[in-house]
Structure 1
C-alpha cells in the first residue's frame, strides 16, 4: 500500500520507466493525477498497481485527445489507431475486466445516441468520461 507521498515517488518512477509512446508534443505529467489528492486531513492508501494503471490510462487518453483534435480540424479519426490503442489498453487490464471493457467500447455509439449525441461522437463521449479529469481538457 502506498501513501499519497509514496504515490508521487512511484508516479515519477513509473513515468520514467514507461515504454509507452505518447503522441508528438505530449509528455506525461510530472505529478500524479488529482485522483490521488484526496480530501485534506484524510489519510489514503493506494494499491501500488494503481499508479501503473493511471500511467497507462494517461497514455490512452493522450491518443484519444490527439484523434479528437484531428477530427475537430476535419481530419477523419484514425479508427485503426484508436482500435490499436484500445486493444493495448485492454490487454493491460486484468483478464477479468476485459469483457466489461469490450462491452463499454462496443456500447459507446448507443450511449452517445441515448444522451442526444450522434453515434459518431462516441469517441468524444468516451474521452469525457474516461480522460478529461486526467488531462483537464474538455471536448465540447
Structure 2
C-alpha cells in the first residue's frame, strides 16, 4: 500500500489583518489584476499535486462560505483561504474543506525573547 503524500503550503496573511501575529508582512493589491493572475498561477501549480483533501487555517464558517462561492453567491476577498484554498478546491472538485488552526502559546520560542517586551505579542509568549 502506498503511503499518502502530503503537501504543506504556508503563506502570509494576504489581507493584512492586524491580529497581533508575530510576523505580519504587508501585501499589496491582492485583488489587482496582476496579483490575481499570479495567484491563479499558484493555484494551477498546486493543482498538479492533485490534492484530494484541503485544510486551511480557519475555525468557523468555512464550508458555508465555500458552498456560497461554488453557487456564485460569494465574492473572493483578499484572504489566502479564499484566494488559494477556495480556487484550488473548486478546480479539484473537492466538496468540503477542512478547518485547522493553531492557537497555542509559543512559550520558549526564540522570537519571544526578541519580541516579548511588546504588548501585542503577550498572547503568544
Q: TM-score, normalised by structure 2?
A: 0.33
Higher RCO by CA contacts (8 Å cutoff, separation 6 or greater): 2
Q: Which has the higher helix share?
A: 1
Normalised by the length of structure 1, the TM-score is 0.31
Q: Which has the higher strand share?
A: 2
